[in-house]
Structure 1
């Protein structure tokens, strides 16, 4: 089964803003360079109930998908990913118990469930004590251990992520929501 919106590789670029995090979703050209704009999101820092809407463009002319926390106060409640009409197309949440040593997330979508975890235990431990722009890589696998997606952050002042989605069941909108949420949850 192939997702309604499947994109095998794309980029997430964070744009600097004082009171919000801004993200551009960009296609990956065959040569690895940035391609067309696939979407734009803005997340208010320190929002009481986490909700992020993705738009067609920075002018916010048309909302196309989003994610929203299920609960205001419960840290492990999780987030629903919804399409343009508000229909749920995926779900993710941080596994706080497993994340003490290495950040871990749970991911669900039509036809799959999976777990994502920081690739390097050493980087995970250093990151907890020092705020440096370290490269952070997350790998998501399904219940059988097959790769679902990966999110790789390149070190630098402005965050840039490469998102690879080898599993065609994972919708682009779910992968993009997870990548942006991970950045926001790590308070980058």
Structure 2
């Protein structure tokens, strides 16, 4: 898996959990499977090699209960630290910003690619609260993670009914398990 430079994350919507399927870019080979419980007090998601859940790849776990700017630690199946990621609440007021900290490397910062889409998403959320009906606006957002002005990782939401993301890894040293965990978490946390 460490040789992959691109993969596709697809959310499968079910009543009580969000399910994520990670595949090769053309959607063929299954690389990972994850489930995220909705309304969990403390986020914990395990990524498995497949839907049969026989081989664990990694787990990400929030450090605190019900945190607006969650920090999640990513560990391997044997409990070894892989890295962490967190939402930077202050920087996210206008444009969502995330910090990615690999255990064995320099941190990277990820921001929404388009400031205009970021502002439009926030206006849409205010409209949902203020209006007596929901305004279905499927915003497509993209995140670019950089370290010292060099691209590390890109997560691009694709158009469609279901949430789908193309994940491109630009830094060959980045642990793919950390990229997988962050990609699933971005959908879960950004959709809240």
Name the TM-score, length of structure 2 as normaliser. 0.89
Larger Cα-atom Rg: 2
- Residue in 1 that maps onto 2:44: 51
- Residue in 1 that maps onto 2:30: 37
Look up the SS of the partner of 2:75 in the other structure: strand
Mapping of residues 24-103 of structure 1, within 5 Å: 24-28=21-25, 33-103=26-96
- Give the one of 179, 185, 189 matched to 1:185: 189
- Give the one of 138, 141, 166 matched to 1:133: 138
Aligned-pair RMSD on alpha carbons? 1.5
Q: CA deviation at 1:76?
A: 3.2
Name the TM-score, length of structure 1 as normaliser. 0.91
- Residue in 1 that maps onto 2:159: 155
- Give the one of 94, 115, 121 matched to 2:115: 121
After superposition, give the CA deviation of every residue in 1:44-103 in whole Å (9 maximum; x if it has no partner): 001010000011111222222110011224433511111111111011000000001000
- Structure 1 distance, partners of 2:4, 2:101, is 17
- Structure 1 distance, partners of 2:111, 2:82, is 21
- Give the one of 2, 16, 21 matched to 1:5: 2
After superposition, give the CA deviation of every residue in 1:8-57 in whole Å (9 maximum; x if it has no partner): 100100011111110001012xxxx2231001000000101000001111
- Structure 2 distance, partners of 1:73, 1:158, is 26
Look up the SS of the partner of 1:34 in the other structure: coil
Q: CA deviation at 1:155?
A: 2.3
Aligned length: 180
- Structure 1 distance, partners of 2:163, 2:67, is 27
- Say if 1:153 and 1:162, in contact at 8 Å, map to a contact too: yes
- Say if 1:134 and 1:154, in contact at 8 Å, map to a contact too: no
After superposition, give the CA deviation of every residue in 1:83-141 in whole Å (9 maximum; x if it has no partner): 11111101100000000100000011112211000000000111123252222110000
Is 2:13 aligned against 1:23?
no
